[in-house]
Chain A
């Protein structure tokens, strides 16, 4: 069973009927995709490209127009499959009057965690999401970053094999976003399969093993992150203390071997790295 992919989608199509005349809108167009186990898989694409619809179909929340799919080798409607997945939807809303701990306990009970394990599972999930201290506050008082983190805690409280995160960092500041990135890394180290939908391409690049890019409901690119990003014909060398004379000598040496220097400039750090270095503490 374990050699089967975490998610397998075959020739999946989803049409929505919109307007009074029922005009057909194709959200997912003959999509075939296989997400292997034990990896962080990024599902990317612009707004309206069909990412969330694909996930909803796979999770059994929306029926497909045509095509087939399995979740951990099972029909997605089966309780066996659902008990082994965790899901954080985009911009989640939770019952504001519950405390974070009560919410996670509620989700643990719905996910089939044994009664004698509920408290321990809740503590573990809150700890993983760095929400232990804020666990006794009402959800209505949480910041956006904390809402996402408590959403993550409810998604993992039953120790699922597959965790689906739809825009987990939407609206979260870089510090909160980095914290969520660390949580994803921690879950990968525990052997979980994580499917990540995100617009934060920098984060996707850092945490994902494989990515798929969708556009207008179709799959336009799929592969290992290093393979799809590497420019095989170009190399990059970082040099310290490069004088004009040394540069000229290097260029001549490379030229004698048939290589050409395309660009010489100073490496830049990302704005996100700079921000995170300057703003070290979380305001949550």
Chain B
């Protein structure tokens, strides 16, 4: 089983690397990140490194999310529309194995995307760090410090977050009949997951006046959608702007793993019933 998943993932990865869409988004995100360097003087009073990190991480998540929704949908529907899926699924390949192969292939591409862009952001931050530190020393304020370990941890969390989005897109794709529907509904699911913290905060607020129905709807929303905003701790990890509680990264990794297993299980179950 693992061998078949590996081979499907490998071919999916190679196919995805050849997609113009990936190259386009990678170049666009890189241009966005590099474009922030000449604009660093407009830092809105938050400090140059924070400005560069904000824009970089924002570009990584924005373009990464678009890629994480569109790429698996494109690869899944491409194989179904072109009948490649018929050829493969007539072999002793389970539907779940096929879908997991698509997931791991797409996720591997997003790993390349995430770590390549994080590398670029890291280079920019490390190049600018000495100037910023010198200025801070001159002003006798505590200088910011770029953490390479924090950069790696942030990249890992973003990769996991994009993995959750890929699995959501595959879940929608397993149920939907068209590529466009998958992209639209998948994007809406990502938006809901990105905003689910509002529902969590509202439920946690003892002063919030909520009807039973509203409370139930909010509770359900927090249970269905993963809180993707929770993975947004890049500044804290990389620039040490505030303290990261011990175990936060591992707790987020565990949470992502649980969501990945659950969503992929649902996607595989739905895909088993699908007519190819």
A contact set with B: CB distance below 8 Å: 56, 59-63, 79, 82-83, 85, 87-95, 97-98, 106-107, 109-112, 151, 154-155, 158, 164
Contact = CB atoms under 8 A, between A and B. Distances in A.
Given A61-B86, A154-B87, A97 B3 contact: no
Nearest to A76: B90
12 contacts: A62-B275, A62-B276, A82-B93, A89-B83, A89-B87, A97-B18, A106-B11, A110-B4, A110-B8, A110-B91, A110-B93, A151-B87
A79 B7 contact: no
B87 A82 contact: no
Interface of B (DSSP majority class): helix
Interface string B1-26: 00110011001001100100000000
A111 B90 CA distance: 9
B15 A110 contact: no
A61 to B, nearest CB: 5
A110 B90 CA distance: 10
Interface of A (DSSP majority class): loop
Contact of A82 (B3, B86, B91): B91
B92 interface: yes
Interface magnitude class on chain B: 20 to 34
B212 interface: no
A95 B92 CA distance: 19
B82 interface: yes
Given A97-B18, A98-B11, A111 B92 contact: yes
Given A109-B3, A110-B7, A92 B276 contact: no
B241 interface: no
B112 interface: no
Contacts of A106: 7, 11
A85 B90 contact: yes
Contacts of A79: 92
Contacts of B90: 59-61, 82, 85, 87, 89, 164
B89 interface: yes
Nearest to A85: B90
Contacts of B275: 61-63
Given A56-B276, A62-B275, A62-B276, A93 B91 contact: no
Given A61-B276, A79-B92, A110-B93, A56 B3 contact: no
B120 to A, nearest CB: 27
Contacts of B89: 60-61
A54 to B, nearest CB: 14
A93 B11 contact: no
Contacts of B250: none
Given A109-B3, A110-B8, A94 B84 contact: yes
Closest 3 CB pairs of A and B: A93-B82, A87-B90, A82-B92
B174 to A, nearest CB: 15
A97 B14 CA distance: 8
Contacts of A110: 4, 7-8, 88, 91-93
Contacts of B276: 56, 61-62
A91 B92 contact: no
Given A56-B276, A98-B11, A106-B11, A89 B86 contact: yes
Nearest to B12: A95
Contact of B92 (A63, A112, A154): A112
Nearest to B8: A110
A33 to B, nearest CB: 19
A155 to B, nearest CB: 8
Contacts of A63: 273, 275
B275 to A, nearest CB: 5
A62 B89 CA distance: 11
Nearest to A83: B92
Given A62-B276, A95-B15, A111-B92, A90 B83 contact: yes
Contacts of B88: 107, 110
Contacts of B14: 95, 97-98
A87 B273 CA distance: 21
Given A82-B92, A110-B91, 7 more contacts: A61-B90, A62-B276, A87-B90, A88-B87, A97-B15, A109-B4, A111-B92
B218 to A, nearest CB: 33
Given A82-B91, A111-B91, A92 B83 contact: yes
Interface string B32-45: 00000000000000
